[in-house]
Amino acid sequence: MTTLLLVAVVAVLAALPLVAPAYVLTFLLIMFMYVAMTQSWNMLSGYTGYFSLGHGIFFGFGAYGFTLSLLKRKLSPFVALAVGGLVAMAGAAVLGFVLMRVRIRIGYFAVLTLGLNEVVKTVIANTDALGAASGFTLPPVPGPAVPYLLMLGTAASAVAAMLVVDRSRYGLGLRAILDDEDVAQSMGVRTAHYKRIVFVLSALFPGVAGGVIAWNWSFIDPYQAFDLLLSFNTPIMAVFGGVGTVWGPVVGAVVMSVLVETLWVNLRNFQAVVFGVLVVVIVMVAPRGVAPLLARVVRRPQGVRA
């Protein structure tokens, strides 16, 4: 039933370029990007407890993997997107080999991932072969429908992958790490192996999303590709929706994207203040995220008052 619903929603959204204006497609493209980002972050942090503040580093790896494949290797943009995803996974494999070999306290892991993002950004900004601080200009994308559909496919694939992980034995192993890593290891769970795998898997969708955004912008530099705002917004949206679930991060990405856009259009001068207050209030009302709260409302029998 869940799979059929996901397919139906994707089919409807895929038809929107036939009727929707460019503004709507641009807004939805960014929203789909955050769906892919929050789901991949949730796969790592929501299911293991290792809170990352540098997940945007995979977005940047993908953006540069795509750009260099397109400009230097003259690959097709669609092949270059796949390369961007693989580059992000390769970067995660290298980082994960170091970070996931030993147990790191959650606070230290957050700081380490945040610092790695800044280190990579600085290295690229000072490397001429990678465009240095000036970055690269890319060929224009052939119309707004192309990046829209590509990002929709990326977001839908991230949700589908999360559904598979959530229902698998591997997902149970990740939850065991979240509950108590020492106990999980004593029970035979190869915790370091599980963490390395999920670290690499969680890099794929941000990597592809980074390539799509780079193509859509027709320009990329290290400050855009490794923008800390993306690494901060992603966990905020995921936590807002509810981590450790499949649909929580989707709800968080959708609701917060709509909220940010609405405030920007109607209360531009007070957007940050109003947004911050609303987030604090909602988190106080629903500390486990808005998705579990919505689920309880839907399941409440008729005739029962709140």
CA distance 198 to 217: 29
129 domain residue, yes or no: yes
Read off the pLDDT of residues 44-53 as tens digits, 9 standing for 90 and up: 999 998 989 9
Averaged pLDDT for residues 104-115 = 81
Q: How many CB atoms lie within 10 A of CB 232?
A: 15
203 domain residue, yes or no: yes
161 domain residue, yes or no: yes
187 domain residue, yes or no: yes
Q: CB of 28 within 8 A of CB of 172?
A: no
253 domain residue, yes or no: no
Read off the pLDDT of residues 153-193 as tens digits, 9 standing for 90 and up: 999 999 999 999 999 999 999 999 999 888 998 988 888 88
Residue 53 domain boundaries: 2-226
pLDDT given for residue 86 in this prediction: 98
What pTM value is reported for the model? 0.91
303 domain residue, yes or no: no
Read off the pLDDT of residues 30-86 as tens digits, 9 standing for 90 and up: 999 999 999 999 999 999 989 899 999 999 999 999 999 999 999 999 999 999 999
285 domain residue, yes or no: no
Q: What total of structural domains would you count in the chain?
A: 1
Instruction: Say what percent of the chain tops pLDDT 90.
Output: 65
pLDDT tier, 279 (very low <50, low <70, confident <90, very high otherwise): confident
162 domain residue, yes or no: yes
Is pLDDT of 306 > 50?
A: no
